[in-house]
């Protein structure tokens, strides 16, 4: 009997067909460089930090028991970096590099703008119009019920009406930190007296807890959609005959079609945002809202030929497939300060915040189903009103794998948030008066 003397080969661990050793070694090298202050504090250094961690933590979260069913990779990419920052695991050089990309270079807005423009231009006109018309009933009713339920639950745990409304409910549905908490803190300081920074510290915890609850809710909604496909549009809001629209994801490209020009796609996406910024001062609407309006009008009137729309869709595909988890890493590193919520944590406080989010999602589900929307997708768009602005939209839609809902999520967040901030600023002056 002859023995085979050849060494046996075992398949190396792989990540989407890529040897796992490659991103592990590269990411370890980048993080090690941070301890020597060797990471460039610019776009290159920032991408090196977030892409490596995103490639590793995202798939890990999708494979973990329990976690994979309530947000998976999105939840892990959001929470693990935030926890590590709180524990002091990252050096200043690493955080500065990530900040240079996410804040100074505003990579987050590029991602959001790509998802908005790409999904609108790649969407059926009938689906787009139907979604825009029907999004407002669940959003409006969801806000009313969320405010009522949030106040009732908070008061049941001993909070006063004033505290429950202005310091728990309003910051959750105010549209994020930059667009919600900051202007709210200014209005509160003006009406009540005191320092704006003190009000920021009181408002941020509810906004953060609400965002985390919204991400987990999105993961649960995705699980519900997987189990009951008839409730789930897979990123399509309105139920229409199959002949009127294609699937939520685009069909395979025709090999005879002209090649995608990704540079043209990037130019169109960035150009739309620049034009929106130019118009912002004239029409007094935020640039992200104007990007949605401009994209809708371009799609509605067929401004761009199919080859241009396809190029934009190509950039959208790259970003939505490969850069969402890295973006979540950046959000966890910089936009989710756990130290802000540690001091106010209590059972009643957390339950009140969660009640706001769940009532928003439940109302969106019920109302959406009643008016001919896919209830899971309607609930996801509605619950985006309780997220941290654009940051929360990315996290929520990533947890539910519905990035093509970004235009509707932005409407929910921006319009809902602005309305909340204006209303709360007016009410607190009346209350004080």
Report whether pLDDT(139) > 50: yes
Q: Residue 389 contacts by C-beta under 8 Å, 6 or more apart in sequence?
A: 175, 176, 177, 178, 179, 180, 413, 414, 417
CB 296 within 8 A of CB 284: no
Could you give the 3-state DSSP secondary structure of residue 14?
strand
CA distances 225 to 59, 236, 387, Å, are 21, 12, 21
Sign of the CA dihedral with 108 first, then 121, 316, and 237 last = positive
Q: In whole angstroms, what is the distance from residue 383 CA to residue 374 CA? A: 14
What is the pLDDT averaged over residues 23-36?
94
Q: What is the predicted pLDDT for the residue at 17? A: 72
pLDDT cut 90: percent of the chain above it:
51
Q: In whole angstroms, what is the distance from residue 251 CA to residue 138 CA? A: 30
What is the pLDDT averaged over residues 260-275?
94
What is the pLDDT averaged over residues 370-382?
93
Report whether pLDDT(220) > 70: yes
What is the pLDDT averaged over residues 306-310?
91
Other CB atoms within a 10 A radius of the CB of residue 131 amount to 23
Write out pLDDT tens, residues 313-341.
999 999 998 999 999 999 999 988 888 77
Local confidence band at 7 (pLDDT 50, 70, 90 cut-offs): low
Mean of per-residue pLDDT scores for the chain? 87
Burial of 218 (0-12, 13-18, 19+ CB in 10 A): buried
Q: What is the DSSP string of 236-256?
A: --B---GGG---SSPPPPPTT
Q: In whole angstroms, what is the distance from residue 327 CA to residue 333 CA? A: 10
Torsional class of 45: left (φ above 0), alpha (ψ -120 to 50), beta (otherwise): alpha
Query: Of 360, 399, 401, 404, whose CA–CA distance to 383 is shortest?
Result: 360
Tokens of 16: 């989407």
- What global pTM score does this model have? 0.84
What is the pLDDT averaged over residues 98-121?
92
């Amino acid at each position: 009997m002859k023995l085979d003397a050849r060494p046996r080969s075992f398949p190396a661990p792989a990540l989407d067909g890529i040897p796992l050793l490659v991103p592990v070694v590269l990411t370890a090298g980048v993080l090690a460089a941070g301890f020597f202050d060797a990471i460039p504090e610019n776009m290159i250094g920032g991408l090196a930090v977030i892409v490596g961690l995103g490639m590793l933590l995202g798939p890990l979260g999708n494979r973990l028991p329990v976690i994979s069913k309530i947000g998976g990779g999105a939840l892990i990419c959001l929470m693990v970096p935030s926890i590590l920052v709180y524990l002091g695991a990252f050096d200043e050089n690493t955080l500065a590099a990530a900040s240079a990309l996410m804040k100074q270079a505003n990579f987050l807005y590029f991602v959001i703008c790509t998802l908005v423009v790409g999904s609108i231009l790649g969407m059926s006109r009938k689906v787009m119009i139907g979604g825009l018309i029907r999004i407002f009933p669940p959003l409006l009713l969801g806000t009313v019920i969320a405010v009522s339920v949030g106040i009732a639950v908070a008061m049941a745990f001993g909070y006063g009406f004033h505290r429950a409304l202005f310091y728990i409910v309003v910051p959750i549905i105010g549209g994020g930190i930059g667009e919600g908490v900051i202007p709210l803190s200014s209005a509160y300081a003006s009406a009540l007296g005191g320092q704006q920074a003190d009000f920021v510290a009181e408002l941020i915890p509810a906004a953060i807890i609400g965002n985390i609850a919204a991400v987990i809710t999105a993961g649960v909604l995705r699980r519900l959609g997987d189990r009951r496909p008839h409730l789930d549009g897979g990123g399509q809001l309105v139920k229409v005959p199959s002949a009127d629209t294609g699937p939520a994801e685009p069909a395979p490209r025709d090999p005879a079609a002209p090649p995608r020009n990704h540079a043209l796609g990037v130019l169109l996406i960035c150009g739309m945002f620049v034009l929106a910024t130019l118009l912002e001062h004239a029409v007094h609407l935020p640039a992200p809202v104007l990007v949605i309006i401009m994209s809708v009008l371009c799609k509605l009137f067929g401004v761009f030929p199919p080859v241009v729309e396809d190029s934009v869709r190509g950039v959208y595909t790259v970003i939505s497939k490969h850069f969402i988890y890295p973006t979540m890493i950046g959000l966890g590193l910089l936009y989710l300060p756990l130290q802000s919520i540690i001091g106010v944590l209590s059972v009643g406080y957390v339950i009140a915040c969660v009640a706001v989010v769940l009532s928003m999602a439940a109302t969106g589900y019920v109302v959406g189903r009643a008016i001919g929307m896919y209830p899971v997708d309607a609930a996801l768009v509605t619950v985006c009103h309780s997220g941290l602005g654009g940051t929360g939209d990315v996290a929520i839609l990533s947890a539910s794998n519905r990035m093509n809902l970004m235009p509707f999520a932005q409407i929910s967040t921006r319009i809902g948030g602005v309305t909340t901030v204006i209303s709360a600023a007016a009410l607190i002056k009346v209350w004080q008066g």
